[in-house]
Structure 1
Amino acid sequence: MAFLFTKIPTEITILLFGGLGLCVGRLIVAYADRFRRELFQIDGGSPLPSADGHRLLSALPVFGSLRRGDSPHRLLRRHALLLEIGTALLFALYVAAVWLLGWQRVEMVEPDKVWWYGRVFYHLILISLLIAATTTDLIDYLIPDEIPIFGVIVAIIGAGISGDLQMVHLWFDWNQADMLIDGQLQRGAYIPEWIRLHHHWHGLAWSVTGMVVGAGIIWLMRGVSSLLLGQEAVGFGDVTLMAMVGSFIGWQPVCFVVLLAPLCGIAGGFAVKLFSGRTFIAFGPYLCLSTFLVLCSWRWLWEPARDIFGHVPSLALLAAVSLGGLFLLLILLRLYRAVPIESRRKEGTSPPE
């Protein structure tokens, strides 16, 4: 594993990971196609024909996507190649940001060298699952349960076995840096002793805590939106999606994901309207985009805000700001949904296939 980062020129390594992303993108296209076919059959539609006999060609990246007509959904047929190339670019961008630029390195979090490289692949699994969830959510407004369930299992087992895949420890307190504690000068952030002594239990703890916090925030938002808006503004798939995200990255990064998601929603909404004329998109893709941004820029997000995460009142304020931003976006979505369907169609929006 290490030779990819130490023995091969940087440019070649990034290209190799881009090629890996191209292959993963093809698998995601095939998965989305299979999910769509099964969904039609479950909903009582006619069974759809499978791909023709050229299975080997259909399985290849790029070549398979150029063979239109296999997928039962227009969006997937037209943009399969774009999905593959996009996955390749995201893989390459992540590896460049994390390995070449070091934008995920933070002070006092130094994984074992083997697991530092392992964390790259660990997060690439998460990125692959996020792309798959985004694809099905954009097409059918559904996130299959198997995606977050598989992700949570992989994340928790990986974190527990390695004990060294965290982006940040379960608990940091930079407010106690360079202070006298029990008669000794505390250098750097305070980290509980059990974290230093029990890496594998710590891995299990931060992953499970991230899962609970990620799912809990979105579950709380569902409940409050149901109370205030008269309907659940986000689906249960978004709850399980954030459980998966939290289990991969921990509770502190997942707070940043929730904080950035409304900004991604606003920017993404304008972009989608500008380029496609579509005026509504599911919330899950914005959570996925926010997660990718946090993965690639963790150093720049964590270092200015790290004092907050050791100070409970500041954490409460951060939670309030995050939820406030999300509720603002949800209210805008609610106002849109109040517009009669005929008015939406006049704007150029058509229901999903």
Structure 2
Amino acid sequence: MIDAWISLPIAVRYGLLAVLGLLMGAVANHLIYRRCYFPRPIGPWGPADEKAGPKRWMDYVPVLGWLALRRQVSVHGKGFWIRPLLIEVALAVSLPLLYDWYVVSGMLVPEELRAPASLARLEALMSGIYAFHLILLLLMVAATFIDFDEYTIPDILTVPGTIIALVCAAIWWELFIPVVYVSFPDGTSKTVDLTWFTLPYAPDPSWWSARGLRVAMGIWTMWCFALSNRRVILRHGWLKAVAYFMASLVRRSAWKRLLGIWVAGLIGISYVYSLGPGNRHWLGLLNSLIGLAVGGGIVWLIRIVGSLSLRKEAMGFGDVTLMAMIGAFIGWQGATMAFFLSPFAALLVVLVHLVLVGNKPLPFGPYLCVATLLTILAWPIMVGEWFIPTLGVMASLLIWLFLALLGMMGVMLFFYRLIGDALYARHTQQSEHE
């Protein structure tokens, strides 16, 4: 399929990608309005509102359909159609531009490989990575706007997205570990680690041993646990805690589906591992799983510390599953870099949000998505030239540095809560005197 795609003229590819962008925008809008926690009858999907009148075939056409749906302004409010229309137009414009960035210009590969002859040899590989990331882009667009609307990110986006990332990484390991032997025009050749989607100690044979299998199964089990109720009450001992946890889990209607996902995942992990030492499919799957663990684990730890310090939920768990999905797509290095970029992405998002809708509270998910996109687009600089070399120097200190920063954040939030409580108490006393 990729060879057939590459054989098309570049102008035809750009045109087809623009059409694909329109269709992706329509799918994103469907997810935003119909796969959220509180579905709304906006758009051509689902049952029509009684006041909206019957559906028309034109309503299903991207962009043009939203122009036709303006007739429902009296039902959904003024300008309801503008945002979904802009989402479809933005993706139609973005997909060809991203293809040029990934494949034609080769901006994700080391600079020495951006000569036309070298890029031609890498065209199939980078086209595959581009297609892989389009899935992530679609899910992040939907998650961003659902988070804007409802301040939550539904599992129906992040759970299938994470599974898709793991399956793709296991089938086509080059999506994460594109180490290839490249011949240059001057006759020289070298092995190049194209986009640095690698584990820090990938050559270590222990990754293909029982140790690697235990790590993979442990990560998968913790992720499935995170999708359950996650509440373990220890005040009555471990036996009672397990009993309470199982009872609360069974009360949920989705426990059978979650159990099936866990068992199927363990079987799949075992199968890929059984292909034998040195198989790249196992390394691709393990890399995706470690990205899941690091991406979700960072946000989960911050959520726990913040909640303990503030004595209230500091961050929605949807942010945890979102970052786990992102890590499964781009690996642990990219997920870590995206998280540390998120405060800077927040500045951009807040400015745009202020201009469009005014001063309203913002969720954290859009920051993570924007930071992820920036991390990917600037991958050689952000990850290859900064994060990986820094990691090589500070590898032994990185975990301790993160824990220290986590502790500092907890202390700061604790005093923030004390100051806030004191100010609230003082304000309450003044109000009572008045």
TM beyond 0.5: yes
Q: Indicate conservation of the 8 Å contact 1:105/1:299, yes or no.
A: yes
Matched, 1:308 2:308: no
- CA drift of 1:93 comes to 3.2
What does the per-residue CA deviation read over 1:127-178, in whole Å, with 9 as the maximum and x for residues that have no partner? 00000111211112221111001101100000001111114343247xxxxx
Q: Whole-Å Cα distance in 1 between the matches of residues 405 and 371 of structure 2?
A: 13
What does the per-residue CA deviation read over 1:209-234, in whole Å, with 9 as the maximum and x for residues that have no partner? 00011110000110111122232221
- CA drift of 1:3 comes to 4.2
Q: Specify the structure having the higher radius of gyration (Cα).
A: 2
Which residue number corresponds to residue 254 of structure 1? Answer: 335
Which residue number corresponds to residue 131 of structure 2? Answer: 121
Matched, 1:78 2:82: yes
RMSD in angstroms over aligned alpha carbons? 3.8
Q: 1:296 to 1:55 in 2, by over 3 A?
A: farther
Letter in 2 for 1:238: D
Q: Taking every aligned residue pair, what percent have the same amino acid on both sides?
A: 31
Which residue number corresponds to residue 14 of structure 2? Answer: 14
Which residue number corresponds to residue 147 of structure 2? Answer: 137
- CA drift of 1:273 comes to 1.7
Matched, 1:100 2:181: no
Letter in 1 for 2:286: A
Superposition TM-score, scaled by structure 1 size: 0.76
Q: Whole-Å Cα distance in 1 between the matches of residues 380 and 157 of structure 2?
A: 28
Where structure 2 has 5 or more consecutive residues not aligned to the other structure, the ranges are 42-46, 114-118, 177-194, 209-276, 425-434
Q: Following superposition of structure 1 onto structure 2, how do residues 237-248 of structure 1 map, counting pairs within 5 Å?
A: 237-248=318-329
Matched, 1:56 2:40: no
- CA drift of 1:328 comes to 12
- CA drift of 1:12 comes to 4.4
- CA drift of 1:312 comes to 1.6
Q: Whole-Å Cα distance in 1 between the matches of residues 97 and 379 of structure 2?
A: 14
Q: Whole-Å Cα distance in 1 between the matches of residues 378 and 294 of structure 2?
A: 21
Q: 1:303 to 1:31 in 2, by over 3 A?
A: closer
- CA drift of 1:321 comes to 9.3
Where structure 1 has 5 or more consecutive residues not aligned to the other structure, the ranges are 42-46, 174-189, 341-353
Partner of 1:307: helix, strand, or coil?
helix
Which residue number corresponds to residue 186 of structure 1? Answer: none
Q: Indicate conservation of the 8 Å contact 1:36/1:72, yes or no.
A: no
2:158 alignment partner, one of 135, 145, 148: 148
- CA drift of 1:115 comes to 4.3
Q: 1:162 to 1:75 in 2, by over 3 A?
A: farther
Q: Whole-Å Cα distance in 2 between the matches of residues 92 and 165 of structure 1?
A: 20
Q: Whole-Å Cα distance in 2 between the matches of residues 83 and 155 of structure 1?
A: 24
Which residue number corresponds to residue 348 of structure 1? Answer: none
Matched, 1:210 2:291: yes
Partner of 2:174: helix, strand, or coil?
coil
Q: Indicate conservation of the 8 Å contact 1:252/1:309, yes or no.
A: no
Q: Whole-Å Cα distance in 1 between the matches of residues 147 and 79 of structure 2?
A: 12
Which residue number corresponds to residue 172 of structure 2? Answer: 162
Partner of 2:35: helix, strand, or coil?
helix
Which residue number corresponds to residue 199 of structure 2? Answer: 171
- CA drift of 1:56 comes to 2.6
Letter in 2 for 1:213: V
Q: Whole-Å Cα distance in 2 between the matches of residues 20 and 325 of structure 1?
A: 46
Partner of 2:106: helix, strand, or coil?
coil
What does the per-residue CA deviation read over 1:221-271, in whole Å, with 9 as the maximum and x for residues that have no partner? 101111222322210000000111000000001011101101111232133
Q: Whole-Å Cα distance in 1 between the matches of residues 12 and 412 of structure 2?
A: 41
Q: Following superposition of structure 1 onto structure 2, how do residues 221-240 of structure 1 map, counting pairs within 5 Å?
A: 221-240=302-321
Which residue number corresponds to residue 343 of structure 1? Answer: none
